[in-house]
Structure 1
Amino acid sequence: MSNCYCGRESSYTACCKIIHLNIQEAITAEDLMRSRYSAFVLGKGDYLMKSHHSTTRPLKEKDEIVAWAKSVKWIRLEILHTTKGTNTDIEGTVEFSAFFYENGEVRVIHEKSKFVREHDCWVYLGS
């Protein structure tokens, strides 16, 4: 059994796929962050939009985001720090680095992402 794309030691089927099928399964902000990383790896644009807060969701850019996500080779996700974001919180942050190959070079996205609850589900607000 290989690890989930998000780096956890469970299979994708036992990890992020559960959240991709039902966003309410993201118990923490980190769970949602990890599921979004896996969605980038798999080019799941609908999930990326659904897991993005309604006020900051980039609907017009969905196709471009998916095209870019599929054009790079994702290497790994590193969770560096979390603040709040537990099952009893209404907001939280996740600082992470996402590594990928693009145009023959290793690149990294380093971000401190903000997450909030919307309709009782964790969603990405922005950085």
Structure 2
Amino acid sequence: MPIDTQDMDTRCPCGSGKPFSFCCEPAISGRKPAATAEALMRSRYTAFVLGAVDYLINTTAARKRSPLDAELLSEQTQVTTWTGLEIIDTEAGSALDQQGVVEFKASFDSPEGSAILHERSRFEREQGLWVYTDGDVELLHT
């Protein structure tokens, strides 16, 4: 899926402060996989912002995928505006690890109002690449 990267100096939506072209874009475009669980989590957040559904599916553990994922993710990305990401904690998930956990809060607006998704996401290596497996989710209405 081609992604409109706009200005290559635009700051990445993940909140890293880095330009998109040097942060999440290489992972989302398939040029360079995420090196850590946190980098994958940040790129997945950015993929939600951009509506990069294929990337979200491809970076989910194969055993966790469903035939309905593309349709559900497409609908979700069309009605949700992600407004901020805060990384709270990481456990393992380095370039040398096989598993990792990233705790974060992601703010968003939707037709139902504004809210914050608080999640402890679990990641693992699958064929050498980081993938999202699942997470403990809490939805906080603001």
Considering the TM-score relative to the shorter chain, is it more than 0.5? yes
Residue of structure 1 aligned with 2:105, choices 86, 97, 103: 97
1:7 correspondence with 2:15: yes
1:86 paired residue number: 94
The size of the alignment, in residue pairs, is: 127
1:112 correspondence with 2:120: yes
- 1:36-71, Cα deviation, whole Å (9 max, x unpaired): 000001111100000000001233132121221121
Question: Which stretch has the larger CA shift, 53-62 or 19-28?
Answer: 19-28
Query: 1:57-76 to 2 correspondence within 5 Å?
Result: 57-76=65-84
Larger RCO (CA within 8 A; separation ≥ 6): 1
**Secondary structure of residue in 1 paired with 2:65:** coil
Measure, in 1, the Cα distance between the counterparts of 2:53 and 2:41: 15
Gaps of 5+ in 2: 1-8, 136-142
| Compared CA separation, residues 78 and 103, structure 1 to 2 (3 A) | same
AA matched with 1:66: S
Residue of structure 1 aligned with 2:34, choices 26, 46, 56: 26
Measure, in 2, the Cα distance between the counterparts of 1:59 and 1:108: 27
Identity of counterpart residues, as a percentage? 36
How does the TM-score come out when normalised to structure 1? 0.93
2:4 paired residue number: none
- State the shift of 1:87 in Å: 0.4
Measure, in 1, the Cα distance between the counterparts of 2:87 and 2:68: 29
**Secondary structure of residue in 2 paired with 1:78:** strand
AA matched with 2:78: K
2:26–2:32 contact (8 Å) kept in structure 1: no
AA matched with 1:7: G
1:126 correspondence with 2:134: yes
